[in-house]
Amino acid sequence: MMTHAAYDCEVLVIGGGIVGLSTAYAITRTAPGTRVTVLEKERGPARHQTGRNSGVIHSGIYYRPGSLKARFAVRGAAELVDFCAEHGIAHAVTGKLIVATERSELPRLHGLVQRGREHGLPVRELGPAQIAEYEPHVRGLAAIRVGTTGVCDFGAVAARLAAEVDGAGGQIRYGAAVTAIDRRPWGVAVRTADGRVVRARVLVNCAGLHSDRIARLAGDEPGVRIVPFRGEYYELARERLVRGLVYPVPDPAFPFLGVHLTRGFDGSVHIGPNAVPALAREGYSWPVVRPRELAATLTWPGSWHIARRHWRYGAGELHRSVSKRAFTQAVRRLLPEVTEDDLRPSTAGVRAQAVLRDGTLVDDFLIREAPHTVHVLNAPSPAATAALPIGREVARRALLRARATGWKPPAVESGHCV
């Protein structure tokens, strides 16, 4: 039996992206005095998905009622706006248009109207003339406007969460890559690349693109593999062509929303992301190849099922990735005036997409537990929007697991997350 003093902390979080930091934040709020440590391999927070995304506060309109995505995104969007306002973080609630450019998309657009209303969202249907009132340079057959969508600086949100954790007595160690995890009857012992060991009652895995590997290091078979999909962006030189946020009608076969036009919190306009396979988990451009990571993707049967099922769509995405002309052509469906000269390459992001053995792209957030471990195995978009409620849910599970080791919270829980 380990004594309380022999543990370095109660809860050890791997990953200093928005989900890991929100989890640590929720623990400091709901069970103050609980010892929590975050290990992040980079030199600061939000260096991967959290700092390389579209920066959109999603309304929740797309997500199946009853799913974790729907529950957490609708609530998370409102909480995130409050959090940004409270902490002086750049944000704006701008609303967005979802635009149908082909007749075949109209039934799906109508389906989104119904879904938005089920979620209690302010949704307005627009014809071509009304589209032009919002976005004079965008063309479409019909559109809907969702009033609660916005933009924010997710990197700044993550940095603020880190500061709050630090201020509440939590520890955040940057440059601390987890390389080994030893599972014991009393908890976990985690080793970082510099040889240091942290002992904890519960391990929380929020390692994003590496979450399946961390689960296996801990001795838990995740049942999924992370298949990395890069999303490439261009920056629009003639910013005046886009006033706000403009999305296509998404293809229900994919969990990605399609190339959209986004005026960010800083006024710049980005166009993207597409979805191409990345040749490394942090493969932000074609030349970045990690043979071992690529081999892990290729030996997962699910990857081949995806390739067989979606080769036509994938071939189109690959073509648009290597040909700026083809990309521009695709964007012209929404924004006919855009030219190749208007588009400047911008930073890319890589999505951590969990894939089942049979090739199913996991759509909802996926959290799996085992004794002493809680693994966040699928936290794709809108997880940045939904980070505050997701963090509370993961914290709730971690605290229950910590109690199962005989530990009692040092302070009365506020009930906030339970």
Ligand X SMILES: Cc1cc2nc3c(=O)[nH]c(=O)nc-3n(C[C@H](O)[C@H](O)[C@H](O)COP(=O)(O)OP(=O)(O)OC[C@H]3O[C@@H](n4cnc5c(N)ncnc54)[C@H](O)[C@@H]3O)c2cc1C
In the complex with ligand X, the residue whose CB is nearer, 14 or 126, is 14
| Residue range at the interface with ligand X (CB under 6 A); choices 88-96, 315-323, 329-337, 375-383 | 375-383
Question: DSSP string spanning 230-278?
Answer: EE--EEESSGGG--SEEEEPPPTTSSS--SEEEE-TTS-EEEE---EE-
In the complex with ligand X, the residue whose CB is nearer, 2 or 177, is 177
| Residue range at the interface with ligand X (CB under 6 A); choices 90-98, 289-297, 315-323, 349-357 | 349-357
In the complex with ligand X, the residue whose CB is nearer, 142 or 158, is 158
Q: Please, are residues 394 and 19 in contact by the beta-carbon 8 Å criterion?
A: yes
Q: Find the binding residues for ligand X in span 249-308 (CB under 6 A).
A: 273
Q: Find the binding residues for ligand X in span 125-184 (CB under 6 A).
A: 177-178
What is d(CA 324, CA 330) in angstroms, rounded to the nearest whole number? 10
| Residue 190 three-state SS | strand
Q: Please, are residues 212 and 226 in contact by the beta-carbon 8 Å criterion?
A: yes
**In Å, how far from its chain's centre is CA 82?**
19
Taking the complex as a whole, how short is the minimal distance between the CB of residue 260 and ligand X, in angstroms?
9
In the complex with ligand X, the residue whose CB is nearer, 351 or 396, is 351
Cα dist from 135 to 90, 129, 244, 327, 332, whole Å: 23, 10, 8, 21, 14
Strands 36-39 and 9-14: parallel
The residue from 35, 145, 160, 210 that contacts ligand X (CB under 6 A) is 210
| Residue range at the interface with ligand X (CB under 6 A); choices 52-60, 62-70, 89-97, 292-300 | 52-60
In the complex with ligand X, the residue whose CB is nearer, 142 or 355, is 355
Examine residue 379 and tell whether it contacts ligand X (CB under 6 A): yes
Examine residue 377 and tell whether it contacts ligand X (CB under 6 A): no
In the complex with ligand X, the residue whose CB is nearer, 24 or 138, is 24
Cα dist from 64 to 52, 194, 259, whole Å: 26, 44, 21
In the complex with ligand X, the residue whose CB is nearer, 304 or 313, is 313
| Residue 181 three-state SS | strand
| Residue range at the interface with ligand X (CB under 6 A); choices 53-61, 103-111, 139-147, 328-336 | 53-61
In the complex with ligand X, the residue whose CB is nearer, 187 or 231, is 231
Please give the structure tokens belonging to residue 261. 């036009």
The residue from 35, 48, 160, 225 that contacts ligand X (CB under 6 A) is 48
Taking the complex as a whole, how short is the minimal distance between the CB of residue 48 and ligand X, in angstroms?
3
- The pair phi, psi for residue 199, each rounded to 5°, is -100, 130
Give 382's Cβ-side CA count (13 Å radius): 30
The residue from 30, 55, 109, 265 that contacts ligand X (CB under 6 A) is 55
Any bridge partners for residue 261, and if so which? 246, 271
Amino acid sitting at position 373: T
- The pair phi, psi for residue 64, each rounded to 5°, is -60, 125
Q: Find the binding residues for ligand X in span 22-41 (CB under 6 A).
A: 39-41
By the criterion CB under 6 A, which residues form the site for ligand X?
A: 14-20, 39-42, 46-50, 52-56, 58, 177-178, 206-210, 231, 273, 349-351, 379-385
